[in-house]
Chains A and B, each alone.
Chain A
Amino acid sequence: MSVLTSNKNFLPTLSDVELKEKFSNIKPRMANSEAIVEASRCLFCHDAPCINACPTSIDIPMFIRQIMSKNTKGAAKTIFTQNILGKSCAHVCPTEVLCEGACVYNNLNEKPIDIGRLQAFATDYAVENNLRFFKKGKSTGKKIAVIGGGPSGLACAHELTVLGHEVVVYEANEKAGGLNTYGVAPYKYSNKDSEEEVKYIAEIGFEVKTNCPVTGATIPELEKKYDAIFIGAGLGKSKKLGIAGEDLESVHGATEFIHKLRKKEQKIQIGKTIVIVGGGNTAIDAAVESSKLGADVTVVYRRTEKEQKAYYFEVELAKKHNVKFIYLTNPVSILGNEFVEGLKCIQNTNGGQKDLIIPCDMVIFATGQEKIIDFYKSIKNLEVTQGKIVVNKNFQTTNPKYFAGGDCINGGKEVVNAAAHGRDAARGINEFLMRGHND
């Protein structure tokens, strides 16, 4: 049994039945008839705003039209042509602020088209039936290493394989998939979903070496073996708070907390009362997952509700799960000798400041992730600004052999952004290797 708190106040793990009920997909699969009715609503806009809002520019009206005409296979092909991670994006994209947010129905005060679920309808069908639309290209004789088997790495490896290159993906964890496997909320995308997707994508014919972290020590060998290297390494560990009591056993970084939940498929014991520090989407994910496991959850954020970086619909979801929010409050120290007993904070009030002690059994900090700067230093001439690798429009770094994409160049965005980077970086690499461009 896994225990995330040494405190006596921990919750029993949930039964399989309870877990299944609580962590079932919040956007359930559409039935055929529902998909066709919803697809029929699409206006088939010219130069559709939803396409422009999608970082991978999926031809959304076209795939919706294909669903309407019961050409689900064709719909999946339309999606995967632009984004081979179209299945996970369908489930984990913040569609409310991307495609669905751009749907013209919003201007009519009507419900936008349920694009995410329609995309899931088509892509789930294609992956489950292993419908294959792409083949390994004619061999170019070039070899490329991809560092990181997350969304950008997988998208890059897939596109490179289509273009005829030999690709090996190096994944530090025991499973590939990156955030889809270890980071996103399980009620959006399950372990099984992610594993199936990785298998589906890799089946085109590239190798994924898991439990195979790339370090400064292995870089020279990699450079010798490969013609080009793509870095899709994501981000590092959760940033520490730098306050007293942080070393107590029941204090966790949100990324690590979620990672452990995913790894154990939520069969884990957590504290009865949990305080989460931070205002982003990761804080919300940690809060909702904890609440689903039965904890009493409070989110403490240093700024106001308006300044919160989490999407409004994620905050709504947390509120529906009885998560409490305390704003304008900074953690000062974590209280407790043997066990966590509470979080001491300073709260900014109208007049000034006051001390606030929130009793709790666990503290999770979701105040951002560190950049993996030490690793970057082992690569010659790799320019890094504010922890982010600098790339040109072809996603080529200042060391021409290296390309990069995903969270390690944008500091942490959506899966769909990473998928777009990976695809476009592959095209950049192809250009570089086949035509010798390195501008």
Chain B
Amino acid sequence: MTDLNTNFAGIKSPNPFWLASAPPTNTGYQVMNAFKAGWGGAVWKTLGKPIVNVSSRYGALSYKNNRMMGLNNIELITDRPLEVNLREMKEVKEKFPDHALIASMMFETKEEWHDCIKRCEDIGIDGFELNYGCPHGMCERGMGSAVGQNPDVCEKITSWVCEAATKPVIVKLTPNVTDITRPALAAQRGGASAVSLINTINSVTGINLDTMDPNPTVDRLSTHGGYCGPAVKPIALNMVAELTNHPDFHLPISGIGGIETWQDAVEFFLMGATTVQVCTAVMHYGFRIVTDLTEGVSEYLDSHKMKKITELTGITAKKLRKWEQLDLNYKIIAHINSEKCISCQLCYIACEDGAHQSIALVKDSRIPVIKEDTCVGCNLCSLVCPVEDCITMVKVETGKKKLVWANHPANPNHILAR
């Protein structure tokens, strides 16, 4: 068994699987149950000044018969008194001294931040996470994503926190920006020890077509909520990689966004995260999913003859380049395994109507045939094929040397340069 012990910017935990700051970390009761189930850490539901929540609060996107492909919420930060939260956090820390307990926070004034930091450190908290991401409600009051979207404010507030905090400070970033590296670099300048991303994405999950009311509905009205769950993973993976690959960014990354299985977690590690945070999957299935996360990641490391998760860090992020650096002479074409083909012809119609008309049907056979001379190797047929490994993409030896756009004769800039 591999060693999953983690040291994230100085915060130690028995494994890299933390609960994100969200409803599953609302109370000491929940966090203790989570730790018993095997979670390595928890970021407590965001502490702040008293708020009042609405009813209802969550909306979801289902795809065919898959429930909750995406989830959004219009819930605010903790609605419990700070004293209650602190008392329960203290109890958790006493019972689980080796687990990571992080206080998520969101305040307005420097004094409020400093006061809460002190009180949290007094009860033995392991670190802080600054909630600069919440995209609804709090941002209207100048907090949450209003901070994360403005690099100057982000840097300033981070520096306030870092003045007072002796424990590591994680800045949680909002994805509701055009360039994720700007707030991340601002957090770094402000003195943060790490970042976590992504927070939720501005969204409306759907509309009740009978009443034409938006979801989730509060007396027939709604507001844009924060989107999360499996549907957001691709966006999160890209943003994590953008930070990993930025030459001036050096902080550890806690990956968040649609993580449900061990494969998801490994993907975040490969993009540069060293811990991951989970919320929606727990809201869907409960704490016990962590068993599969820890076992799956351990097995994966074993099978790759690796001992520690950090051996995975950023391997795949390095393989993300600018488009113009990709080899234009690399060629693959589709290959259909006629023995595996179940003759649904989805590949045919996808290519015919939706791509490059490079699959043919032949008389007296239901098995489509690839037109190798026109196949552009787009992958679409292999993506729609319902049979595993039936359509594979096969490399074609062109005999040509690697050629990138920068050097391509069709590139006007290349011609100018000559």
- Residues of A at the B interface (CB closer than 8 Å) are 36-37, 40-41, 43-49, 68, 104-105, 107-108
Could you give 22 example pairs across A and B, Cβ below 8 Å? A40-B64, A41-B65, A43-B346, A44-B346, A45-B343, A45-B345, A46-B344, A46-B345, A46-B346, A46-B349, A47-B361, A48-B344, A49-B343, A68-B64, A104-B342, A104-B344, A105-B342, A107-B341, A107-B343, A108-B342, A108-B386, A108-B387
B36 within 8 A of A: no
Q: What are the residues of chain B within 8 A of A46 when measuring CB–CB? A: 344-346, 348-349
Nearest chain-A residue to B388 (Cβ)?
Answer: A108
B118 within 8 A of A: no
SS class, residues of chain A in contact with chain B: helix
The contact string, 1 if C-beta is below 8 Å from chain A, for chain B 326-346, is: 000000000000000111111
Nearest chain-B residue to A52 (Cβ)?
Answer: B366
Q: What are the residues of chain A within 8 A of B345 when measuring CB–CB? A: 45-47
Q: What are the residues of chain A within 8 A of B349 when measuring CB–CB? A: 46
Nearest chain-A residue to B386 (Cβ)?
Answer: A43
Q: How far is the CA of A47 from the CA of B342 in the complex (A)?
A: 13
Q: How far is the CA of A284 from the CA of B343 in the complex (A)?
A: 34
Q: How far is the CA of A48 from the CA of B349 in the complex (A)?
A: 11
Nearest CB of B to A139, in Å: 40
Contact A49–B65 (Cβ < 8 Å): no
Q: How far is the CA of A43 from the CA of B343 in the complex (A)?
A: 11
Nearest CB of B to A118, in Å: 14
Nearest chain-A residue to B63 (Cβ)?
Answer: A40
Nearest CB of B to A110, in Å: 9
For B341, B344, B346, B366, the residue with the greatest tally of chain A CB atoms inside 10 Å of its CB is B344
Contact B65–A36 (Cβ < 8 Å): yes
Nearest chain-B residue to A70 (Cβ)?
Answer: B209
The contact string, 1 if C-beta is below 8 Å from chain A, for chain B 352-390, is: 000000000100001000000000000000000011000
Number of B residues contacting the other chain (C-beta, 8 Å)?
A: 14
Nearest CB of B to A101, in Å: 14
Q: What are the residues of chain B within 8 A of A37 when measuring CB–CB? A: 65
- Residues of B at the A interface (CB closer than 8 Å) are 64-65, 341-346, 348-349, 361, 366, 386-387
Q: What are the residues of chain B within 8 A of A44 when measuring CB–CB? A: 346
Nearest chain-A residue to B352 (Cβ)?
Answer: A46
Nearest CB of B to A168, in Å: 44
Other than the known A36-B65, A46-B346, what 15 A-B pairs have Cβ atoms closer than 8 Å?
A37-B65, A41-B65, A43-B346, A43-B386, A45-B343, A45-B344, A45-B346, A46-B345, A46-B348, A46-B349, A47-B361, A49-B343, A68-B64, A104-B343, A108-B386
Q: How far is the CA of A80 from the CA of B72 in the complex (A)?
A: 41
Q: What are the residues of chain A within 8 A of B341 when measuring CB–CB? A: 107
Q: How far is the CA of A49 from the CA of B64 in the complex (A)?
A: 23
Contact B366–A49 (Cβ < 8 Å): yes
Nearest CB of B to A300, in Å: 41
Q: What are the residues of chain B within 8 A of A104 when measuring CB–CB? A: 342-344
Q: How far is the CA of A172 from the CA of B386 in the complex (A)?
A: 52
Nearest chain-A residue to B209 (Cβ)?
Answer: A70
**Residue from A36, A40, A41, A107 within 8 A of B342 (CB atoms):** A107
Nearest chain-B residue to A106 (Cβ)?
Answer: B342
Q: How far is the CA of A41 from the CA of B342 in the complex (A)?
A: 15
Q: How far is the CA of A105 from the CA of B343 in the complex (A)?
A: 10
Nearest chain-B residue to A69 (Cβ)?
Answer: B64
Q: How far is the CA of A104 from the CA of B346 in the complex (A)?
A: 11
Nearest CB of B to A104, in Å: 4
Q: How far is the CA of A108 from the CA of B385 in the complex (A)?
A: 12
Nearest CB of A to B142, in Å: 43
Q: What are the residues of chain B within 8 A of A40 when measuring CB–CB? A: 64-65
Q: What are the residues of chain A within 8 A of B348 when measuring CB–CB? A: 46
Q: How far is the CA of A40 from the CA of B65 in the complex (A)?
A: 6
Q: How far is the CA of A108 from the CA of B387 in the complex (A)?
A: 8
Q: What are the residues of chain A within 8 A of B344 when measuring CB–CB? A: 43, 45-46, 48, 104
Nearest chain-B residue to A108 (Cβ)?
Answer: B342
Give the 6 A-B residue pairs with the shortest CB-CB distance, closest first.
A46-B345, A107-B342, A40-B64, A46-B349, A40-B65, A45-B344
Q: What are the residues of chain B within 8 A of A107 when measuring CB–CB? A: 341-343
Nearest CB of B to A162, in Å: 31
Nearest CB of B to A218, in Å: 50
Q: How far is the CA of A41 from the CA of B349 in the complex (A)?
A: 18
Q: How far is the CA of A46 from the CA of B345 in the complex (A)?
A: 5
For A36, A37, A46, the residue with the greatest tally of chain B CB atoms inside 10 Å of its CB is A46
Nearest chain-B residue to A61 (Cβ)?
Answer: B344
Q: What are the residues of chain A within 8 A of B386 when measuring CB–CB? A: 43, 108
For B342, B343, B345, B361, the residue with the greatest tally of chain A CB atoms inside 10 Å of its CB is B342
Q: What are the residues of chain A within 8 A of B65 when measuring CB–CB? A: 36-37, 40-41
Q: How far is the CA of A200 from the CA of B65 in the complex (A)?
A: 33
Q: How far is the CA of A49 from the CA of B348 in the complex (A)?
A: 14
Q: How far is the CA of A34 from the CA of B345 in the complex (A)?
A: 26
Q: How far is the CA of A83 from the CA of B348 in the complex (A)?
A: 29
Q: How far is the CA of A44 from the CA of B346 in the complex (A)?
A: 8
Q: How far is the CA of A60 from the CA of B395 in the complex (A)?
A: 38
Nearest chain-A residue to B345 (Cβ)?
Answer: A46
Nearest CB of B to A199, in Å: 31
Q: How far is the CA of A44 from the CA of B64 in the complex (A)?
A: 13
Q: How far is the CA of A68 from the CA of B64 in the complex (A)?
A: 7
Nearest CB of B to A126, in Å: 21
Q: How far is the CA of A105 from the CA of B344 in the complex (A)?
A: 9
Nearest CB of A to B113, in Å: 49
Q: What are the residues of chain B within 8 A of A47 when measuring CB–CB? A: 345, 361
Nearest chain-B residue to A107 (Cβ)?
Answer: B342
Nearest CB of A to B263, in Å: 23
Nearest chain-B residue to A45 (Cβ)?
Answer: B344
Q: What are the residues of chain A within 8 A of B346 when measuring CB–CB? A: 43-46
Q: How far is the CA of A370 from the CA of B361 in the complex (A)?
A: 46
Q: What are the residues of chain A within 8 A of B387 when measuring CB–CB? A: 108
